[in-house]
Chain A
């Protein structure tokens, strides 16, 4: 950001009384020495003056009546929405200043995303802790499924064994 731009930002904050005491004194000094800065401040004042020419809007008398009528028709509590983890959602929501309405949709997708992520992590961890034996000549998916089935090849009769073990393994056995 150029220095003049930064100075102008500070001047605008100075105009709104949003600078520290020390900075204010510094800006005052700068204003005494710089015509450019003084002109910028004058323009800020002019714009603010013009903006404040807008007369305040008066509220209709009926506004309150209409509103209270609408309020009497609405229940004080919002209907509960279906979420995977409603308690967590509420905890999350109370952490933030945003309104509940805005976040409901976001949290639903976030909860779903987190659930998918956790599932993937668990699956990955399981595969890491239970390595698939590489020597078998069976496709990866079949091997993963086979682990769950756990076929006992030793106690199995020879005829069934032959149907399960691939021809390569039979060759090796011979």
Chain B
């Protein structure tokens, strides 16, 4: 019989490292996928996923079994993602300010990577994936997180509301707006049109 996540977490609370390892095994792929889609960078996603699990381990004592473990885990990951997204936009603003004052262009390489010369990205599928990911990154913070949670994590609106920290009706509205914005962005990049044509 499969041990529940909550049960594993209770074992982890009493210092069982094996239980924690099992939790990591269960959720690592989901969490990395979620963070990676949110921040748009695999290496950053791995770091943040590690940070998420370490926080889970450190704060195991404060875990209340009455709340769903998965939601708690996603809440921590979401907070980390939010911090990262905000830091990035701040860095981006700084960068633009520096650019306007005549700073070196090479500074921007870590933020705006150039994929043109990477052989892997020449494939159409990869290129399409890249554009889709870029467009996801263009969405406002909450819209992006809601869209990722519903599309890639298959979460219910109620769970998303708990993770994002708003009402279910707000989640409904956010998801609708994120889809509308995505449609617009994909059409602009020519992806939506070709897909429409195929259909």
Contact A55 B129 (CB under 8 A): yes
B62: which A residues are within 8 A, CB to CB?
93-94, 100
Count A/B pairs, Cβ under 8 Å: 129
B176: which A residues are within 8 A, CB to CB?
8-9, 12-13
Contact A51 B132 (CB under 8 A): yes
Asked whether A67 and B24 contact (CB < 8 A) given A9-B172, A47-B183, the answer is yes
Contact B79 A46 (CB under 8 A): no
Of A56-64, A134-142, A149-157, the stretch lying at the interface with chain B is A56-64
B64: which A residues are within 8 A, CB to CB?
94
Which one, B49, B72, B151, B180, contacts A97 given CB within 8 A? Answer: B72
Report how far A51 CA is from B147 CA in the complex, Å.
10
Report how far A78 CA is from B63 CA in the complex, Å.
13
A71: which B residues are within 8 A, CB to CB?
17, 20, 53-54, 57
Which one, B20, B46, B55, contacts A63 given CB within 8 A? Answer: B46
Of A47, A66, A93, the most chain B CB neighbours within 10 A belong to A47
Contact A16 B175 (CB under 8 A): yes
What's the interface size class on B, roughly? 35 or more
Q: How far is the CB of B80 from chain A (nearest CB, A)?
A: 9
Report how far A74 CA is from B58 CA in the complex, Å.
8
B46: which A residues are within 8 A, CB to CB?
59-60, 63
Which one, B15, B72, B76, B128, contacts A76 given CB within 8 A? Answer: B15
Which one, A18, A50, A72, A76, contacts B156 given CB within 8 A? Answer: A18
Of B85-93, B99-107, B191-199, the stretch lying at the interface with chain A is B191-199
Scan A101-123; emit 1 where CB is below 8 A from any B CB, else 0: 11000000000000000000000
Assess whether B162 is interfacial by the CB under 8 Å rule.
yes
B125: which A residues are within 8 A, CB to CB?
53
Which one, A64, A70, A94, A99, contacts B25 given CB within 8 A? Answer: A64
Scan B145-165; emit 1 where CB is below 8 A from any A CB, else 0: 001001110001100001000
What's the interface size class on A, roughly? 35 or more
Chain B residues numbered 37-95 whose CB sits less than 8 Å from any CB in chain A: 37, 42, 45-46, 49-50, 53-55, 57-62, 64, 67, 71-72, 75-76, 79
Assess whether A125 is interfacial by the CB under 8 Å rule.
no
Task: Write the chain A residue with the least CB distance to B151.
Answer: A51
Asked whether A53 and B129 contact (CB < 8 A) given A12-B176, A70-B54, the answer is yes
Asked whether A16 and B150 contact (CB < 8 A) given A47-B186, A93-B62, the answer is yes
Instruction: Give residues in A with beta carbon < 8 Å to B.
Output: 8-9, 12-13, 16, 18, 43-44, 46-60, 63-64, 66-68, 70-72, 74-78, 93-94, 97-102
